[in-house]
Amino acid sequence: MVLISKLQHKNLVRIMGCSVQDDEKLLIYEFMPNGSLDTLLFNPMTGGAVLDWGRRFKIIQGVARGLLYLHHDSCLKVIHRDLKVSNILLDENMNPKISDFGLARIVQGRQSLANTHKVVGTIGYMSPEYAMGGMFSEKSDVYSFGVLLLEIISGKKNTSFYCSDQQLGFLAYTWHSWNEGKGLELVDEVLANSYSPSEVMRCVHIGLLCVQDNAADRPTMPDVVSMLSTETDRRQPNRPIFTVQKSVSDPQPQYDNIYSGNEATITVIQGR
């Protein structure tokens, strides 16, 4: 509560109050009439009608500005650690607001890298260095943003995507399509041709730069915000090797008693 109350930005959810009566502890946020982004993005019946490309691009820009504030412009330097589609809420005007700071960490002073012995987060959004070594930084959030960005473009979930022909996970498939000059094939089918090809290709490029395996190869959020406005980075992203790949023939691992209140957030990751 103390953390969230000190963060004020139009792309962060605003806390209205709290309750600590007896054993019941509640946080009261501003009401978001359009719910979370995932309920619209991954709904084939309504997603196309509600989330046209203009709104999707606006959401991408808003989330980027919210992260920029957390990393560089707020009075506290905050690493979110659980940025994902379900943690993006939409107000009455479809403006995005980053929510759920339960896993957020304050980084002191000029510290740029921290370590934890307990890895918490969501499979598919955690960066390689964090998932496998517990090291987190601004670049960990950048990785999560890259996954989120590519999901917004494609309308597909990273963790449930599987290309049976090429046996590729979501990020590897995205890179192959982009590398072969077929980046526009990644666009959500419900958008038809009602999108800007130049904006889409710019966003795919940025998303792939954000999900590079090596944290040093990822841009910072100031770089990302700048690139969303104008093409300023011509670096060619390498193929992401660290990826969550779902096989239709492989059974999914079962986890017991490791889930938080958000059913998609876990504290254990199983390597391939």
**Residues acting as catalytic residues:** 82
d(CA 99, CA 45) in angstroms, rounded, equals 25
Residues in Cβ contact with 237 at an 8 Å cutoff, skipping those fewer than 6 apart: 175, 178, 205, 208, 209, 211, 212, 217
Other CB atoms within 10 Å distance of the CB of residue 18: 13
User: Are 185 and 258 contacting, i.e. CB atoms less than 8 angstroms apart?
Assistant: no
Token pair of 246 as six digits = 């779902």
Q: Could you write out the DSSP letters of every residue in the chain?
A: -HHHHT---TTBPPEEEEE--TT--EEEEPP-TT-BHHHHHT-TTTHHHH--HHHHHHHHHHHHHHHHIIIIISSSEEE-S---GGGEEE-TT--EEE---TT-EEEPTT--EEE-SS--B-TTTS-HHHHHH-EEEHHHHHHHHHHHHHHHHH---TTT--BTTTTB-HHHHHHHHHHTT-GGGGS-GGGTT-S-HHHHHHHHHHHHHHT-SSGGGSPPHHHHHHHHHS----PPPPPP-------SSSPPP---S-B-SSTT-BS-----
